[in-house]
Amino acid sequence: MSDSPFSIELKVRDYECDMQGIVNNAIYQHYLEHARHEFLASRGLSFAELTKQGVIIVVARAEIDYRAPLHAGEECRISVAASRPSPVRLVFSQKILRAADGKLMVSAEIITTAVNERRKPYFPKALQQLLDEE
């Protein structure tokens, strides 16, 4: 895994906030997923194209630690690093930092696998390039 993982920046939109004026907890999963898709794209992989080719990537588990809330208008940086802890698992380690001061807002481990046409887990060669460039 690289010391400086892939990252993107986003700005919190008003409609993503709940009545308390903070980002709704479910929205963070959207942020994390968007960053993972951009990570794939940065490695020459299209999530949609992989799906068309029969490479179905599924989330098996999401471990999310909410540390501090983001508010409307704040900018954040979402990082993504990939690892392969087992023959069929691909883990995305992710962080959401507030851009203004680098404060950790969310940390997450998203455990995924790919499933074949029989719905059995496997690790397709196409995903290897996510690890080769780390």
Q: Is residue 38 part of a domain?
A: yes
In which band, very low, low, confident or very high, does the pLDDT at 39 lie, cut at 50, 70 and 90?
very high
Indicate the burial class of 86 (C-beta count within 10 angstroms; 0-12, 13-18, 19 or more). Answer: exposed
Number of domains forming the structure of the chain: 1
For residue 17, what is the domain's CATH number? Answer: 3.10.129.10
| pLDDT tens column, 109-123 | 999 999 988 889 999
Within a domain: 1: no
Q: Per the domain annotation, does 79 fall within a domain?
A: yes
Any residues with CB less than 8 A from the CB of 67 and at least 6 apart, and which?
104, 105, 106, 107
Q: Assess if residue 26 is contained within a domain.
A: yes
Q: C-alpha distances in angstroms, 56 versus 8, 47, 103?
A: 24, 9, 34
Residues forming a β-bridge with 106: 66, 96
Is residue 74 domain-resident?
yes
CA distance 16 to 26: 9
Query: What is the distance between the alpha carbons of residues 10 and 28, in angstroms, rounded to a whole number?
Result: 11
Q: Which residues are known to be catalytic?
A: 18
Express each pLDDT in 69-95 by its tens digit. Answer: 999 999 999 999 999 999 999 999 999
Residue at token pair 């208008």 = 73
The mean predicted confidence, pLDDT, of the chain is 92
Q: Which domain holds residue 44?
A: 6-132
What pLDDT does 133 receive? 60
